[in-house]
Every structure is written in C-alpha cells, then in structure tokens.
Amino acid sequence: MQKLLGVVCIVLGIVVGLYIGVWWGLVGGIIQLISGITPTINASNIAWGIAKIFVLAPILGWLSFVVLVVFGKTLLD
C-alpha cells in the first residue's frame, strides 16, 4: 500500500507541476497579458501576467513537483 501511495504521489507531482507551471502560469499569464492590453491598457493585468510567466510559474511549478516527488520517493524507500 505504501509503494502504491508513493507511485501515486510521484505521478501526481508530475501532473500538478505541469499544470501549475504550464497551464496556470504560462497560459494564464499570456491570457492575462492579452486581456490587459485590450480594449484599454490595464497596467496591473500586464504586470501580473508578466509576473506569472517569468516568476511564479517556474517557482510554483518546480516547487509542487519537487515536494510531491520527494514525498513519493520517501514512501518508496
């Protein structure tokens, strides 16, 4: 049971890391940038979009990946 939970945590770490890094951060940041430009320029939307793409997405994506994979790896050992 413990090994199954470890494998599930590792797979969940990969999925959650990709979701947060790619979908929430990259795609969400691009969408926020575009919505900040049209129809009028909204500086705060542009700033948050840039922050999501270049700062938050890599940090939060890798952090969630590493935490879940390390937890799953400890369960496998």
Give the model's confidence band at 39: pLDDT under 50 very low, under 70 low, under 90 confident, else very high: confident
Question: Which two three-digit tokens encode residue 5?
Answer: 């939970």
The pLDDT score that the predictor gives to residue 40 is: 86
Mean pLDDT of 37-46: 89
Q: How many domains are contained in the chain?
A: 1
20 assigned to some structural domain:
yes
6 assigned to some structural domain:
no
Q: Is the dihedral of CA 45, 48, 50, 52 positive or negative?
A: negative
34 assigned to some structural domain:
yes
pTM for the predicted model, two decimal places: 0.83
Q: Please provide the average confidence, as pLDDT, over all residues in the chain.
A: 94
4 assigned to some structural domain:
no
Q: Is the dihedral of CA 36, 57, 53, 29 positive or negative?
A: negative
2 assigned to some structural domain:
no
User: What are 56-74's pLDDT values in tens digits?
Assistant: 999 999 999 999 999 999 9
54 assigned to some structural domain:
yes
Which domain does 25 fall in, by range? 12-76
Mean pLDDT of 7-35: 95
